[in-house]
Structure 1
Amino acid sequence: MNLNNISVLSRHVLLRKHVLGRSWLTFAKIRFLQCASKLVANTILTKLVNNRTAFPNPPSRTLFLTACLFNSKNDNIDEEDVIEAEIEELFQEQIPLGLGKDEHRVFIVHPDVKWGSKKQYLTKAALQMEEAVGLVKTLHNWSVVDTLILSTKTPEKRRIFGKGNFQILTEKIRSTPGVTAIFVNVERLSAASEKDLKEAWGVEVLDRYSLVLHIFRCNAKTKEAKLQISMAEIPLLRSRLRNEVENLDQQGGGSRYIMGSGETHYEMQQRLLKERELKIRAALEKLKKKRHLLRSQRKHKDFPIISVMGYTNCGKTTLIKALTGDTLEPKDQLFATLDVTVHAGQLPCHMTVLYVDTIGFLSQLPHQLIDSFSATLEDVIQSDLIIHVRDISHPETVNQKVNVLKVLSDLQVPDRLLNSIIEVHNKIDLVEGFEASDSEAIPISALKEHGLDVLKERMEEAVLKCTGRQAMTIKVQLNTPQLAWLYKEATVQLVDDTEDDCSANVKVIISRAAYGRYRKLFQVTS
């Protein structure tokens, strides 16, 4: 039996997206008992787990769990599948922004602040506009129809610009055909500002926070990335909920209370939003514990950990690919990497290290967005060394460096890591007549694999220093497990036979802790 054999009514019930509740669970049980054998339940579960696109609408967690009730003996379904279904349901709840469209024609306006705390001193308005255009073009089928840099002395006001400039901007937008969204290139618009601007222009209004979140949503692949994005969306959902309630109050639209519930529509929505936030936090906590376990396992194996960080699209993934030979697929795209990934490589001394590829940074990102990804960035805090990759060909490379260091400071990265950062100047092949301006920085081209030998030597020196490892020669007895133990627990560089066929001199790099275990295990006195 397959899904086509279920009655029309049953399929309609199964495929609709329902809110989890007792009435739905009871009804679903009845319909399963009436219309669907256990074989049908198996078919549904298989399609839900292996081929979500088999359904015209995204299947809800309710449908998944209901099918599980009738398939408790199915060995193919486990707790991981249920967790994945829960995360997918949370992630599929779109922000009420109208950004789910396949395409948008965007008008970008950049407020050029003339003075005050919000003035940018390390960059220029034209370069900031260039980055804003790059953000929009990151999205598939989104296009920029026009741009405008407009000066302002009052960025804190609801309409950001003075009366005259705001009128010029509004006329410019209205005279530009086909505009479906306005991107105001500021960190975050207040709820009041967003409401005013939408009313004035009649289209969706975006700030950097909402646009970057949408880029994240489009690039998210793993469970952790989806959960972190869902958490970062909560402030936007709350803001829009307040706007909706204010609009209803002003229009005097309908009763404020839900019949028989004793709570207002706003209170009910706030409660549902709070419940959603708690679900996300609980799911994130589970993944955090799992990540902590993986981190503990890496520490137990005593592999040095090197975190590779930098501004978005600076070439971090390309560098890790060049250092490790892994089959990575770097993209010339903002925020191509949203998840922390770990890749093993070897230093010149044959010591194995783990390179951690991290999410790229961006200027003017609100704290809520950084906080949402703090669980991911904990790997950086636990690392032994940080490599800061800079795109030296970018005109804003100095400003990008300042932004990265600021985020690292906000993450409360220990001083031992901040003081030992190795700075790498990447993409020197794109700079004609490149000359190093910083004697401490290492110039490389990750794509062309130029300068990597120097970088590896510097990393080796830093890793040995920060991890307390030391190079030494140990005399081992070949008729014992000593040599095999050293190969497993340390980095063996050279084995020299001695005149005595029963022993050898082994040159190793070994940590103090491992050497202590070696001496205790084999009762070595010196």
Structure 2
Amino acid sequence: MAKKIAEPTQTPRERAILVGVDLIGDPGLLPLEDSLAELALLADTAEVEVLGEVTQRLDKPNPDTFIGSGKVEEIKMLVEETQADLVIFDTELSPRHQRELEERFGEQVRVIDRTALILDIFARHASTREGILQVELAYYEYRLPRLTRVWTHLARQTGGGGGRTGSTGGVGLRGPGETQLEVDRREIRRRIARLKEELEKVRAHRQRYREQRRRSNIPIVALVGYTNAGKSTLLNSLARAEVYVADQLFATLDPTTRRVELPAGHTVLFTDTVGFIQKLPTQLIAAFRATLEEITEADLLVHVLDVTHPNAWEQWKAVQQTLLDIGCENIPTITALNKVDRISDTEAIRKALGQFTSSVAISAKTGEGLPNLLREVENILFENFAPVTVYIPYREGQLIAQFHEFGKVEESQPFGEYIKIKGSLPGRLLNAYRPYLKRPTPAKSEV
């Protein structure tokens, strides 16, 4: 009698309880309910099933458990009732809070925060060597102060085995009086240093590549926006590209660059970058420095905004804050109000356009408004001139000559070891002169 072959089974999804805290005097960018809804989307992207939500309003965090002791007991009962594996907090927990909560909830329940959840999603979606290195660095820097267990947990995370951690090798022997925890911490620090060295090589390679693009005089347009706003769909529509698109958060992590021809025949490079989100972990901003430089080095930003989202304005502010944090406040920006194909009220669209100084209504999916967007890109990069005053070192003769050739010079005079030029430049050249906007301090001999 033939045996029946068992059907392959899917790995069961982890099950989680979400916890949101409303701190009085420290309101988040989104209302608590909306922030928890976003956390639920993050959990779904990480293939975690949400079983319930718990919220609390606090004057200040509890020094031991962040939330009140009564709320801890309430969550513990809910975890036991639902047999949840995870408790996910919508705010970043300190190592102490995390340890205390895990002790209260029991050994079988893991406590993580929004940062750890986003790191998990990034680890799932990183596909290039650069992306994997960046995520691994962020993971280790987040994990180091929270290290309480033996090294084997991290060995599994990085694909090692038998006491090894991927490419780092074994943890080695302990010295006299040295605890296993100290050995583990030293090994993580060593791994962090190696990852930073490798990423610095990536950064240098990207910088050389960008310099080659600059020499070709082709302007760079960076697509920025909240995660899932439609940046990749827009790049696909503009460049007939095949960038991976999915209706989920952080579907793409690695930058993709494509050539696009503008209406008057000019060629520009459009770059799709990693999406932003409120409470974006600082570890990710630091680890993704090489990738984010694609934004800081751009000649123009197109901020793609999902105008149909109920928290569109808050998402816009979250992106603007991140751009400010990475030093992009002086780059010209167009706001592309995306997904207008879902809006039948033309007056609502007109009103939304009026909230931004340079905006275009588009649908990346249907192509509506894309010719207008490309015309606006062309106007800013090649036709509109922006007033600037720059202080250029005499050794940068090429930049000085370029200003005189393509810009409009109103005033040019010596300023110590620099030449001060006041005038205006086309948008495509502004980025090259940004390092020279600040007035230098004259040498003592010049005072």
Q: 2:319 and 2:271 mapped to 1: Cα distance?
A: 16
The question of whether the paired residues in 2 share the 8 Å contact of 1:228 and 1:372 is answered with: yes
Cα deviation, 1:280-326, whole Å, max 9, x if unaligned, reads 01111111121112111111111110000000000001111111111
Distance of aligned partners of 1:137 and 1:259 in 2 relative to their CA distance in 1, 3 Å threshold: closer
Q: What is the correspondence of 1:87-486 to structure 2 with a 5 Å cutoff?
A: 103-113=13-23, 115-117=24-26, 119-120=27-28, 122-140=29-47, 142-155=48-61, 157-176=63-82, 178-186=83-91, 188-202=92-106, 203-242=109-148, 263-415=178-330, 417=331, 420-434=332-346, 435=348, 436-437=350-351, 438-439=353-354, 440=357, 441-465=359-383
Structure with higher Rg: it is 1
For 1:431, the aligned partner's letter is I
The question of whether the paired residues in 2 share the 8 Å contact of 1:153 and 1:161 is answered with: no
Partner residue in 1 for 2:438: none
Aligned residues between the structures: 352
The question of whether the paired residues in 2 share the 8 Å contact of 1:308 and 1:356 is answered with: yes
SS in 1 for 2:124: helix
Distance of aligned partners of 1:466 and 1:214 in 2 relative to their CA distance in 1, 3 Å threshold: farther
The Cα shift of 1:244 comes to 6.6
Cα deviation, 1:430-454, whole Å, max 9, x if unaligned, reads 2342522233421111101111111
The question of whether the paired residues in 1 share the 8 Å contact of 2:255 and 2:272 is answered with: yes
Distance of aligned partners of 1:299 and 1:263 in 2 relative to their CA distance in 1, 3 Å threshold: same
Cα deviation, 1:70-120, whole Å, max 9, x if unaligned, reads xxxxxxxxxxxxxxxxxxxxxxxxxxxxxxx8631111121133x113x12
The question of whether the paired residues in 2 share the 8 Å contact of 1:152 and 1:160 is answered with: no
Distance of aligned partners of 1:236 and 1:328 in 2 relative to their CA distance in 1, 3 Å threshold: closer
Q: 2:231 and 2:62 mapped to 1: Cα distance?
A: 36
The Cα shift of 1:266 comes to 3.1
For 2:105, the aligned partner's letter is W
The question of whether the paired residues in 1 share the 8 Å contact of 2:95 and 2:146 is answered with: yes
The question of whether the paired residues in 1 share the 8 Å contact of 2:323 and 2:329 is answered with: no
The question of whether the paired residues in 2 share the 8 Å contact of 1:153 and 1:162 is answered with: no
Q: 2:317 and 2:360 mapped to 1: Cα distance?
A: 18
Distance of aligned partners of 1:155 and 1:148 in 2 relative to their CA distance in 1, 3 Å threshold: same
Q: 1:168 and 1:156 mapped to 2: Cα distance?
A: 16
The question of whether the paired residues in 1 share the 8 Å contact of 2:46 and 2:117 is answered with: no
Partner residue in 2 for 1:520: none
Q: 1:351 and 1:236 mapped to 2: Cα distance?
A: 44
Distance of aligned partners of 1:259 and 1:394 in 2 relative to their CA distance in 1, 3 Å threshold: closer
Q: 1:210 and 1:136 mapped to 2: Cα distance?
A: 11
Q: 2:384 and 2:64 mapped to 1: Cα distance?
A: 50
For 1:212, the aligned partner's letter is I
The Cα shift of 1:260 comes to 5.9
Q: 1:467 and 1:353 mapped to 2: Cα distance?
A: 18
Partner residue in 2 for 1:499: none
Cα deviation, 1:43-65, whole Å, max 9, x if unaligned, reads xxxxxxxxxxxxxxxxxxxxxxx
Gaps of 5+ in 2: 1-10, 152-171, 387-425, 430-447
Q: 1:465 and 1:156 mapped to 2: Cα distance?
A: 57
Partner residue in 1 for 2:156: none
The question of whether the paired residues in 2 share the 8 Å contact of 1:107 and 1:146 is answered with: yes
Distance of aligned partners of 1:298 and 1:166 in 2 relative to their CA distance in 1, 3 Å threshold: same
For 1:181, the aligned partner's letter is L
For 1:162, the aligned partner's letter is G
The Cα shift of 1:168 comes to 2.5
For 2:73, the aligned partner's letter is Q
SS in 2 for 1:302: coil
SS in 2 for 1:159: coil
- Scaled by the length of structure 1, the TM-score of the pair is 0.63
Cα deviation, 1:107-135, whole Å, max 9, x if unaligned, reads 1121133x113x12x53222111101100
Q: 1:216 and 1:259 mapped to 2: Cα distance?
A: 33
For 1:155, the aligned partner's letter is P
The Cα shift of 1:275 comes to 1.4
Could you say which structure has the greater relative contact order, defined with CA pairs below 8 angstroms and 6 or more residues apart? 2
Q: CA RMSD in A?
A: 2.5
The question of whether the paired residues in 1 share the 8 Å contact of 2:336 and 2:361 is answered with: yes
The Cα shift of 1:242 comes to 4.9
